[in-house]
Amino acid sequence: MLRPLGLALLLAMTIPAWCASKPHVVFLGKPQPVRIALGPAEDQSVKINVRPLYVDTKLKDYTTGDAHDVTDRQFVVQRAYRLNDALPGDSPKQARWVWQRGDWLLVDRSTGHVGQVKLPEFESSFLRVSWYRDYAAYCGVTENGVHLSFVVAQIGVRKALFHKDMAVATQANQDSPAAQCAYPRWERRPPRVTFSPANGQPFTVNVAAGHAQESADSEAEQ
């Protein structure tokens, strides 16, 4: 009778080679410049770079902006996609496509899996997301266009860890949070992020496992 160790070795030797998991090749292709429309009337445009995302030489999606390594096997990158801009009645031969920024993707290098990162209250047309570890800090505009929204979120957590609204500076800038909120600045020890609104005092948010809170120093200054 085979002992347990001998049986395990025998089974390992008889497992077909095709049963073993093979490594995946994940990479971003060459950047291509495109233009996207901005503003409620889409009467402004800006140039961005779009890069294809490949998994095992197969095109999975398109991306824009820099990727951020979350772990040694996972990274996040913002999705880009083409939207059909044809009107009813337009000739099918006159195809019209426009590029848009999309949500963020979570890519696993070891499994080749590409999934969506659900960031609470995130408006995909605004690019300025500041990543640290698995935390995301960003600014946006609330649905009524009256307030700026300051958010700290964590991958895998549905509800924002931190949320704060502040009145916008001017009506003209309601479609441009980037003009009213500088790129959020992270610090490492302790983990915290500073928001700097154009029409208000900077404030710092302390981040810990599962929650985030505005620092007492920031509240005292206000």
DSSP secondary structure, 17-84, as one string: GGGSPPP--EEE---EEEEEEESTT--EEEEEEEEEEEETTEEEEEEEEEEEESSSSEEEEEEEEEEE
Banded model confidence at residue 11, pLDDT cuts 50, 70, 90 = very low
pLDDT of residue 59: 97
pLDDT for 174 beyond 90: no
Share of the chain above pLDDT 70, in %: 78
Banded model confidence at residue 172, pLDDT cuts 50, 70, 90 = very low
User: For 114-135, how does the pLDDT look when each residue is reduced to its tens digit (9 = 90+)?
Assistant: 999 999 888 776 668 999 999 9
Banded model confidence at residue 58, pLDDT cuts 50, 70, 90 = very high
pLDDT of residue 50: 98
Q: Is the peptide bond before 190 cis (omega within 30 degrees of 0)?
A: yes
CB 55 within 8 A of CB 112: yes
What are the φ and ψ backbone dihedral angles of 29, each rounded to 5 degrees?
Answer: -80, -170
Share of the chain above pLDDT 90, in %: 56
What single DSSP character describes residue 113?
A: -
Give Cα separations from 166 to 42, 69, 157, 174 (angstroms).
25, 31, 24, 12
Residue, of 113 and 140, whose pLDDT is higher:
113
Those residues with Cβ within 8 angstroms of residue 72's Cβ, 6 or more apart along the chain or in another chain = none
